[in-house]
Amino acid sequence: MMHLPKKNLFFLKYFLVSIAGFFLVSSTAAFQVDEKILYQISATLLDKKGHTFEVFWFYRLDQESWKGKGTLTIFGKDYLSLDLPFMNVLIQKSVMSVKYPEEDQVLIDYFNRRDPSNLFAVLLSEFNGFIVENIDTNNEQISLSLVPESLVGFDHLWMTVKENEWIPKTIKAISGKEMEIKVDVLSVGPLLNPDDLIMGKLTASEIIDLR
């Protein structure tokens, strides 16, 4: 068995410690960059002045799917509305109302902004519960892949944003083979009437309050 001189052992130990330290610093720096990008996206998306998005929304649950153009409005972290041909959503702080036009029915329930299986909760909570798995940059477009910190909710979340603008262009979320949501942002504009979100109400012939 060969024995290394003490001097060589010292340099080997120093080299290994230096390598480990390098990877630790690199990993920490990469994490900080990931967090900064997510923060920039959230800060822009949840701007206190609000945004109006024209979107194309695709939703699949098991073997059924729905799709259509609509309008998404976001006012800070507490207010959101989505108007689609097949569904209307209104979130006002801790209350969420959903209308299904075909049934002429509105469901009202508490809004859990920590629900990792609710895309609206993920957006309004600054992607809480998700970490960046991968980031790619191509032609001023940033593509992000996010994974959950727990086994509950979406398995994967993908998003593309234009560099230095930080507004999502596409969002895709999947939960197993059962659920898939895809959102294409067609245009973005300012929120003109925030009171419509704050004071708005969904109406239908049947109101079911689950609170």
The CATH number given to whatever domain includes residue 103 is: 2.50.20.10
Q: Is residue 84 part of a domain?
A: yes
In a domain, residue 3? The reply is: no
CA distances from 161 to 11, 63, 111, 123, 170 (A): 46, 30, 27, 14, 7
CA–CA dist 204, 75 (Å, integer): 24
Q: Is residue 11 part of a domain?
A: no
Distance (Å, whole) CA 72 – CA 78? 14
Structural domain harbouring 64? 40-209
pLDDT, mean of residues 158-178: 94
- In a domain, residue 188? The reply is yes
The Cα-based distances of 162 to 52, 81, 134, 155 in angstroms read 17, 23, 16, 24
Report the pLDDT averaged over residues 62-90. Answer: 97
Task: Give the predicted TM-score (pTM) of the model.
Answer: 0.82
Q: Could you tell me if residue 44 is inside a domain?
A: yes
Q: Which two tokens stand for residue 102?
A: 């075909």
pLDDT for the residue numbered 164: 84
Is position 47 within any domain? yes
> What was the pLDDT predicted at 35?
81
pLDDT band at 82 (very low <50, low <70, confident <90, very high): very high
Q: Is the pLDDT score of 71 beyond 60?
A: yes
Residue range 160-170: average pLDDT? 92
Rounded-to-integer distance, Cα 173 and Cα 158, Å: 6
Number of structural domains found in the chain: 1
Distance between CA atoms of residues 135 and 129, nearest Å: 18
- pLDDT greater than 90 at residue 18: no
Q: Is there a domain that residue 29 lies in?
A: no
22 part of a folded domain? no
pLDDT value at position 152?
77
